[in-house]
């Protein structure tokens, strides 16, 4: 199983991820990514984008954010704040969630996510 961050989910929905199909049983997202995608739709997304996002969310496995994910996120945030290299709250939540699930994270934003100790970061670029 591979967890997609928001950028990877968007690339996948647009058909711009090489050699990756949504129908593979190995792909999933965090509910945090679901929230970011829905925020984009509600904040002025076009009807075509809204349809694409809703279809994607219907077909992809979505992991709920639980107490273990919350604890891992707190650890990620604390370490990054102490090092002076925060990556943002939503990205920290996605990273913490991936760590709590023991899953690698597929992203186009390797610059941020590689700062997270113990997180396996995958990229297509």
pLDDT at 22 over 60: no
More confident residue, 44 or 32: 32
Highest mean pLDDT among 15-19, 24-28, 108-112 belongs to 108-112
Do residues 3 and 28 lie in contact, with contact meaning Cβ atoms separated by under 8 Å? yes
Residue 29's contacts (CB-CB under 8 Å, 6 or more residues apart) are: 3, 4, 9, 60, 61, 62, 63
pLDDT of residue 23: 54
What is the per-residue pLDDT across 28-42, written as a single tens digit (0 to 9) for each?
999 999 999 999 999
**Domains along the chain?**
2-122 (3.40.50.1010)
State the Cα angle at 35 between 33 and 38, rounded to 5°. Answer: 110
Q: How many CA atoms lie within 13 A of 40 on its CB side?
A: 18
pLDDT at 101 over 80: yes
């Amino acid at each position: 199983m591979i967890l997609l961050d928001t950028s990877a989910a968007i690339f996948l929905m647009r058909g711009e991820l090489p050699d990756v199909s949504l129908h593979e049983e190995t792909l999933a997202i965090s509910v945090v990514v679901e929230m970011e995608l829905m925020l984009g739709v509600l904040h002025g997304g076009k009807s075509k984008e809204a349809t694409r996002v809703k279809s994607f969310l219907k077909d992809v496995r979505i992991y709920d954010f639980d107490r273990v994910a919350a604890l891992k996120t707190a650890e990620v945030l604390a370490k990054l704040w102490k090092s002076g290299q925060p990556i943002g709250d939503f990205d920290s939540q996605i990273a913490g969630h991936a760590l709590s699930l023991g899953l690698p994270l597929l992203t186009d934003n390797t610059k941020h996510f590689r700062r997270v100790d113990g997180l396996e970061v995958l990229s297509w670029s």
